[in-house]
Amino acid sequence: MSDVHYQSLEKTGAFEKPEKRSKRSKIIVGFLVEFLLVTETVSKIAVSVVGLLILIAIGVAVGVIVSNNNKEKSSGNSSNGTKSGSNSNSADPSLFKKDARLHRSLYGLAYTPEGSLPDHGCSSTLAYIDHLFQLMSQLTPRIRLYGADCNQTALVLEAIKQTKVDLKVYLGNYVVDGDPGAYERQRDVLKEALQTYGSANIAGITVGNEFMLNYVTGHKIEDVNSAEADAGAAILVENIADTRAMIASLNLPNPIPVGNSDAGSYFSNKVLENVEYGLSNVHAWFANTTIEESSPWVRRFFDETNVQPASLLPNKPTMYLAETGWPTGSKDLGNANNGFADASVVNLQKFIDAFVCQANADGVPYFFFEDIKYGGVEGYWGLFNKDRTLKDITFPTCISP
């Protein structure tokens, strides 16, 4: 995930680091009938009356047609052909058409609502998120967020409530080195959202995303588990403890695990020892693999670098693939190929075919990267285009665990 606030300072090897105006047609039909002085003969008067009645009849007919057309447009029943999962009843977001091309085969999706970053103007709307959840809920039972700015936590939980979809959310607090206010601000809005919506749809709260990657590269530290790096880890550990205290103060009926997310090789053991789960960003694209080797490479890297080391820690945190997938394009020609494979829809399909069902069968938890719009291939990881149309891909019918 990348942004001024959500951005790795360096991407190394495997590390990573998606107004509609309703127009109402107004047709004003005016009939100006100017009557001249009629003659004294009855026959001429009769002809004038008949002509007037004909004009009135035409006006009524046109009015009915226009009215019916406007009703059709406002009802939301007109077919858009290319959009996935269009609403069948715009007044009730829980009533929407299912898309036969979508199958609930994915374990999870990594997601940031468009317009929910402070430097993007905090422009995300509930209606937009409602529509996205109608789509994403047909692909997965889980999503993960990166942060809590721009009221995105409450918007997401309200969207789940309105659409009535079966989705669990890993909420996020994006911790910024040197800006303790960023953590505190997000903690407070997370608390408010939990007080309003409860914990029924919360799978966890993730404190920090690629914080240690940013910390060690920013301070020119080579070893993430060195004494120098421990100063950065201490910031996260303090925030994690504070998040647990916030959750405990609410006396919620369902427990909420607390975790951390980072780039694959940048997990601090001191951080992992203080969380229930770790979310690891692993992308074969940045390791310059071929598309044929991409799926087994991700699985092997994740197991050797994250799963096995975590199992040796006293608390044995559960490890997840927090971001994975394959880009379908690039903003510049220099990043359109990683040296061994193209960024293309064809290769995304190959990765889906090789990875999804096998990971499901083996019990490997993962989140497909469904973001966003920055340099190089950053804006091309999603399964959907920016206009919410599905890319030219198909999904397997195996069921997500």
CB 181 within 8 A of CB 234: no
Burial class (CB in 10 A: 0-12, 13-18, 19+), 377: buried
For residue 20, is it within any domain? no
Number of domains in the chain: 1
For residue 171, is it within any domain? yes
CB 45 within 8 A of CB 53: no
For residue 40, is it within any domain? no
128 or 395, which is more confident? 395
For residue 217, is it within any domain? yes
Give tens-digit pLDDT for 74-84. Answer: 333 333 334 55
DSSP assignment, residue 147?
Answer: -
The whole-model pTM stands at: 0.79
CATH code for the domain of 150: 3.20.20.80
Where does 164-315 have alpha helices with state H?
180-197, 211-218, 227-249, 269-272, 291-302, 308-311
CB 204 within 8 A of CB 171: yes
Give tens-digit pLDDT for 93-113. Answer: 999 999 999 999 999 999 998
pLDDT at 23: 34
Strands (E), 22-164: 109-111, 142-144
Where does residue 342 fall: left (phi above 0), alpha (psi -120 to 50 degrees), or beta otherwise? beta
Distances (CA, A) of 393 to 358, 360, 385, 396: 18, 19, 11, 10
CB 18 within 8 A of CB 372: yes
What percent of the chain lies above the pLDDT cut of 90?
69
State the chain's mean pLDDT as an integer: 82
Domain that holds residue 252: 109-370
Strand, coil or helix: what is 100? coil
Residue 202: Cβ within 10 Å count: 23
For residue 14, is it within any domain? no
Q: Radius of gyration of the chain from Cα atoms?
A: 28
For residue 52, is it within any domain? no
> CA angle at residue 31 from 30 to 33, to 5 degrees?
150
The tokens for 143 are: 């999503």
Dist CA 291 CA 303 (whole Å)? 19
For residue 95, is it within any domain? no
The tokens for 75 are: 């009802």
Give tens-digit pLDDT for 148-204. Answer: 999 999 999 999 999 999 999 999 999 999 999 999 999 999 999 999 999 999 999
Report the candidate in 172, 168, 158, 251 with the shortest Cα–Cα distance to residue 202: 168
Report the candidate in 274, 343, 348, 268 with the shortest Cα–Cα distance to residue 309: 268
For residue 199, is it within any domain? yes
pLDDT at 84: 54
Tell me how long the chain is.
401
CB 148 within 8 A of CB 109: no
348 or 30, which is more confident? 348
Distances (CA, A) of 304 to 264, 297, 311: 10, 11, 11
Report the candidate in 283, 280, 279 with the shortest Cα–Cα distance to residue 343: 283
CB 146 within 8 A of CB 122: no
57 or 286, which is more confident? 286
